[in-house]
Amino acid sequence: MKGEEKILLSHGGGGKETSELINGLLFKELYGPAVSGNAKSLSLLEDAAIIKIGSSPSKIAFTTDSFTVNPLFFKGGDIGKLCVAGTVNDLSVMGAKPLFLSLGLIIEEGFSFNNLKNIMKSIALEASKTGIAVVAGDTKVVPLGKADGIFINTSGIGEVLYENISVYNIKEGDVIIVSGHVGDHGSAIMSLREGIDMDVDIESDCASLWGMIDSVLKTGVHVGAMRDATRGGIAAVLNEWAQAAGAEIFIDEGKIPVKNAVKGFCELLGFEPYQLACEGRAVFAVRPGFEKKALKTLKSHPLGKNAEIIGFVQKRGGAGYGKSPGGRVILKGIFGVNRVMEAPSGELLPRIC
Amino acid sequence: MKGEEKILLSHGGGGKETSELINGLLFKELYGPAVSGNAKSLSLLEDAAIIKIGSSPSKIAFTTDSFTVNPLFFKGGDIGKLCVAGTVNDLSVMGAKPLFLSLGLIIEEGFSFNNLKNIMKSIALEASKTGIAVVAGDTKVVPLGKADGIFINTSGIGEVLYENISVYNIKEGDVIIVSGHVGDHGSAIMSLREGIDMDVDIESDCASLWGMIDSVLKTGVHVGAMRDATRGGIAAVLNEWAQAAGAEIFIDEGKIPVKNAVKGFCELLGFEPYQLACEGRAVFAVRPGFEKKALKTLKSHPLGKNAEIIGFVQKRGGAGYGKSPGGRVILKGIFGVNRVMEAPSGELLPRIC
C-alpha cells in the first residue's frame, strides 16, 4: 500500500504544484474525464470567467479569490486592501470594469474587534478608489486554533468593456510590458515575516489597477493578453502564457524593473525578483506597433510610471490552439547568457496573499 | 482602560450576536455613518443582492457563503454538497435561477487528496442537479494547524426570473409555510459531533431547492418573502422578517413539522427544533388566498412533500418601511400558551454549515 497523498504547502504557492493540483485533481473531478477542450474548464485558467446572463448582450466577468495573507497588516497595505485590489485586478485584466464585490469572512474566535474594524475601513477605502460596491457578505466564526486571525474571500463581478483579452490570445511578435517594479509585495511580506531588517524599507505595491488599465485600453492599444502578477510573480504569468499559447517568450532580464532594495533582499536570500509576488503590477502582451503608445500611457499614470518593455513573443507553436509543445520563457541574463525562466515551484512563500 | 473586545463563537451562530456584529461593526465601517436607509446595506440583509449590469434590463442575483462545517462528511451530505446547495438556495429564494458558481478553497496542509477528490465529486454532482456551472475558482493552502481540513467559499450568480421577493415585502395576512421537517441538519451534525447515539439515525436535509421553488413560483403563487432556513433555523428567518417589516408573526407550534427523532434529540439536549439549522428547507410568506395552491404544489415535489402551513403575519407595524417597533414572533405553544419565539442567541452550534 502506498502512502496516502496529502496536500502540501507548495500546492498553494501558485506555481507548478498548484497547476498540477488544479489540472490533475480539481478539474478532473469537477468536469469529468472529457476535460481538455471543455469551455468551462478553459475559462478557469483565466483570471475571471466571462459569462452571459439570459438574453442580455452584456458580457460579465466573474472571479473569486481567498486571502490568507500572513501577517494581516504590512507596510503598504493589509488584508482588507489586498482582498479588494486582488479581485478588482482579476476583473480589470479581463477588460472588465469592476462593479460588485462580495465579502466572505472566516474569523478565528478571539480575533480583535479593533483589527476587524481597521480591515473593514481598508476595504471601504480601497473599494471607493475603483467605485466597486460591496453588495453581499457572509460571516463565519471558527474556534480558536482552527484558523489564523481572519481569512477573506472576495468574489467580483464586472462588465466586459474590452473583449478578447485572453491567455489564449498571445501572438508572435507581441511585445511584453510590465507596469512597474516587480517583487515588492513578496519582499515586503517575507522580510516582515522572517524578521529581516533591511536598510531600506520595502513596501507592498498592493493597488487596484482598473484606472491604469482602463487608461491604456481606451487609447485603442491592441492588447492580446493581460494579467496581474500575484503568487509566483511575473515568472508565473509568463510561463502560463507560454504554455497556454504554445509560445516561446523572450525576456531581457536587464529590462525588468526591480528596486535596489528588492534586489538586495533577493541576493541575500537567493530568490529571483521575477518569481516574487506583486499585488499592483500588470503584465501586458500588446500587438507590435502599439508598444510605444501603451508604454507612454502607462508612464503617465501614477501606478504605471515605472513601466518597461521587457521582451516579446518570439514564436508561437503550430500544434494548435491551446496546445503547448515547447511553450517556454527564455531569459536573456544580464551577462548575456540565455537561460529558461522557470515557473516557480516549491513552497516559495506560503500565504503571500 | 476597558478590555479589548474580541470575536466570540456566538458571533458566527447566525443569531442575535451575528446581527449585532454585522449591523454594529461591519456595515458601519463599510458604509459609513449614514448606514440606515442605504440601499447598499439593505441589500445585505437579503440572501442575495439584486444588481444590474450596464444597460442590460436583466436583474442579477449575487450571493456569497463560506462553509466551515465540522465534520466535513456527515449522514446526508458533506461540505461539497452543502456549499453548492447553500448558494443555490440563497439565489433561489430571491426568485433567481442559479446559473454560475465560484469555488474558493482554503485547504490545510496535510489534507487528504482522497477527501478532496470526494468533496469535488459531491460538488460536481450537486451542481449538476440544478445545472449551475462552476466557472471560477481559487485554491489556497495554509500550514498545518492554521485551518481545519478545508473551508470552502461559494459565490453564486443567478438570473432573477421572479421579482419583488424580499424580506421587506411581508404583508399583514401573509401565510407562513415551511417546506418540510425542521432541524434535521442541525441534529445530524450535532449528534455526530457530540457522539450522541440515537435510536434512529438523523440525516441532514441538505438539498438544492431551485427545482422545488421554481415549481411553486411558476404556478403564479404570489410570494412576498422566501428564505432558506440555515443557521438559527426557522426562528432566525421568522425573527428577521418580523424585524425587517416591523411585523408580528404568529406561529402555531403544533403545526411545525418535526421528525420524532429530532424531537427526541431536542428533548434530550434542551434545544428547540425551530432554532436548529436546516439546509434544504424554505420558509414562504405567501399572500392570503395563495396558500392552498402553494402547499399543494410543494407537496407534489419530492423535497416539499412534508410542507405545512405554520402561521401567518398578524399585523405589520405602522412606523414606516424597514422600521421595527415590536417586530416579533408569537408562538402558540402545543399546550395553548402563547410565548415569544426568540431569535437564537449564544453559541448554539458553531460550524453547522
pLDDT tens-digit readout, B208-217: 999 999 999 9
Q: What is the pLDDT of residues B164-186, one digit of tens each?
A: 999 888 999 999 999 999 999 99
Of B26, B57, B124, the CB nearest to A29: B124
pLDDT of residue A333: 85
The three state secondary structure string of B287-314 is CCCCHHHHHHHHHCCHHHCCCEEEEEEE
Contacts of residue A62 in chain B, CB cutoff 8 Å?
100, 102, 135-136, 157
A117–B25 C-beta distance less than 8 A: yes
pLDDT of residue A266: 92
pLDDT of residue B317: 59
| A324 has pLDDT over 70 | no
* Closest to A196 measured CA to CA, from A187, A206, A205: A187
pLDDT of residue A115: 97
- Mutation target to probe the A interface, by most A beta carbons within 10 A, among B5, B7, B148 is B7
- Mutation target to probe the A interface, by most A beta carbons within 10 A, among B27, B91, B118, B140 is B140
Give the residue-averaged pLDDT of A290-310. 98
> Of residues B24 and B127, which shows the higher confidence score?
B127
Phi, psi of A339 (to 5 degrees): -145, 175
pLDDT of residue A317: 59
Contacts of residue A41 in chain B, CB cutoff 8 Å?
none
pLDDT of residue B345: 79
Q: What is the pLDDT of residues A58-112, one digit of tens each?
A: 899 999 999 999 999 999 999 999 999 999 999 999 999 999 999 999 999 999 9
Contacts of residue A107 in chain B, CB cutoff 8 Å?
7, 11-12
Q: In chain A, whose CA is at the least distance from the CA of B44?
A: A136
Whether the CB-CB separation of A126 and A80 falls below 8 Å is answered with yes
Q: What is the pLDDT of residues B72-109, one digit of tens each?
A: 999 999 999 999 999 999 999 999 999 999 999 999 99
> Where is average pLDDT lowest: A207-216, A238-247, A279-288, B169-178?
A238-247
| B149 has pLDDT over 90 | yes
A140–B106 C-beta distance less than 8 A: no
- CA A46 – CA A60 distance, rounded (Å): 14
Give the residue-averaged pLDDT of A191-198. 82
* Closest to A82 measured CA to CA, from A235, A180, A185, A183: A185
B108–A66 C-beta distance less than 8 A: no
The grid coordinates of residue B339 equal 410565548
Whether the CB-CB separation of A72 and A119 falls below 8 Å is answered with yes
Percentage with pLDDT > 70 across chain B: 91
Does this complex have an ipTM over 0.85? yes
B58–A53 C-beta distance less than 8 A: yes
Q: What is the CATH number of domain B46-160?
A: 3.30.1330.10
pLDDT band with cut points at 50, 70 and 90 for residue B44? low
Instruction: State the nearest Cα–Cα gap between B53 and chain A, in angstroms.
Output: 7
pLDDT of residue A44: 55
Give the residue-averaged pLDDT of A13-27. 85
pLDDT of residue A42: 44
Domain with CATH 3.30.1330.10 in chain A: 46-160
> Of residues B220 and A46, which shows the higher confidence score?
B220
B105–A64 C-beta distance less than 8 A: no
pLDDT of residue B347: 66
| Residue given cell 452550534 in the structure block | B349
Kindly tell me the sign of the dihedral angle through the C-alpha atoms of B34, B40, B44, B45. positive
pLDDT of residue A2: 55
| B245 has pLDDT over 50 | yes
Q: What is the CATH number of domain A167-340?
A: 3.90.650.10
| Residue given cell 400558551 in the structure block | B337
pLDDT band with cut points at 50, 70 and 90 for residue B34? very low
Contacts of residue B22 in chain A, CB cutoff 8 Å?
137, 139
| A273 has pLDDT over 80 | yes
Whether the CB-CB separation of A66 and A59 falls below 8 Å is answered with no
Give the residue-averaged pLDDT of A301-314. 97
Q: What is the pLDDT of residues A140-178, one digit of tens each?
A: 999 999 999 999 999 999 999 999 999 888 999 999 999
A350–B143 C-beta distance less than 8 A: yes
> Of residues B323 and B55, which shows the higher confidence score?
B55
> Where is average pLDDT lowest: A307-311, A338-342, B159-163?
A338-342
| A40 has pLDDT over 70 | no
Can you say how many angstroms the Cα of residue A134 is from the centroid of all Cα atoms in its chain?
21
Domain with CATH 3.90.650.10 in chain B: 167-340
| A254 has pLDDT over 50 | yes
| A41 has pLDDT over 60 | no
| A119 has pLDDT over 60 | yes
Contacts of residue A145 in chain B, CB cutoff 8 Å?
145
